[in-house]
Amino acid sequence: MASELIVVCGAGGFIGGHLTGELLRQGARVRAVDVKPFDEWFQRFPAAENLQLNLQDKAACGQAARGAQTIYNLAADMGGMGFIEHNKALCMLSVLINTHLLMAARDAGAQRFFFASSACVYNADKQRDENVTALKEADAYPAMPEDGYGWEKLFSERMCRHYREDYGLATRIARYHNVYGPHGTFDGGREKAPAAICRKVITAKLTGRHEIEIWGDGRQTRSFMFIDDCLKGTQMLTASEFVEPINIGSSELVSINQLVDIAESIAGIKLQRSYNLSAPKGVNGRNSDNTLIRQVFGWEPDTRLRDGLEETYRWIHDQMARAR
């Protein structure tokens, strides 16, 4: 591994930062790439070759891919549901990143290319009930994904498939289900539900105002995958010979109200809840069917939500207390 160059695109982001750190711990030679200025990266490691590049630009992708054996594409303009629903065009423009990276990977002679897709590719008709049937990989078609962000992910999945079929580039595609953990965004509008709920509970505790606003009616259901499971599944898939898109997500289904219950339990408080029914809330129900990943790898993400959320809560608490 030390002799091969691994490129992590989106390395200044949440998952990319964790993946860079894990690869370095394993002894890999890593080039870390992100559009953000270095001081805005969630994690930055001096042992990596760190580059600030706009990967929507074709020339920048050529620079990022030069000499690479493996490329992880985690780069995208995205965030939680509040961001996705109000920035559909920006989310769609991420298609430039994956398209140009695939071209650059082919031209650079890369051996492996990983694309981080999303459960947002799944047909919306199958997610209208909070008592959702877990989504299996075949449920992406007939296509009716999340408008904007989901369409870009589904299109980019097809691009990866055709680069594998037409050019022999070994592409691997993971459909992530709501990844969370420490060293990620928890405010500013791009945060996802676990981080947002932790921030709101911590704010209530620090200020003494024991109240919380919940987007939607709180009955919408999701599964949430801890970052450690995400990294394990991502590397397992990338190194494998399995070529079809596959779910990497927890199958532990909870409502948003239950997510708040867990955060309150960690904090040791109970809050007065109000519900903002006009706020973005996404589909009513979404869960990961892990039948395929168990069949292929004999494994599935298994970190309990309570355990992962406690670690996430403590990290966010430390950041907020330090800022105060």
Residues known to be catalytic? 149
Please name every residue paired with 52 in a beta bridge, in sequence order, or none if there are none.
Answer: 34
**Strand locations in the chain (E):** 5-9, 29-34, 49-52, 70-73, 112-118, 170-176, 179-180, 211-215, 221-223, 225-226, 246-248, 253-255, 272-276
Q: Buried b / exposed e across 257-283, counting CB within 10 Å, b at 16+?
A: bebbebbbebbeeebeeebeeeeebbb
276 contacts 232 by C-beta, under 8 angstroms: no
Calculated CA dihedral for residues 228, 234, 235, 241, nearest 10 degrees:
150
* SS3 assignment, position 49: strand
CA 103 vs. chain centroid, Å, equals 23
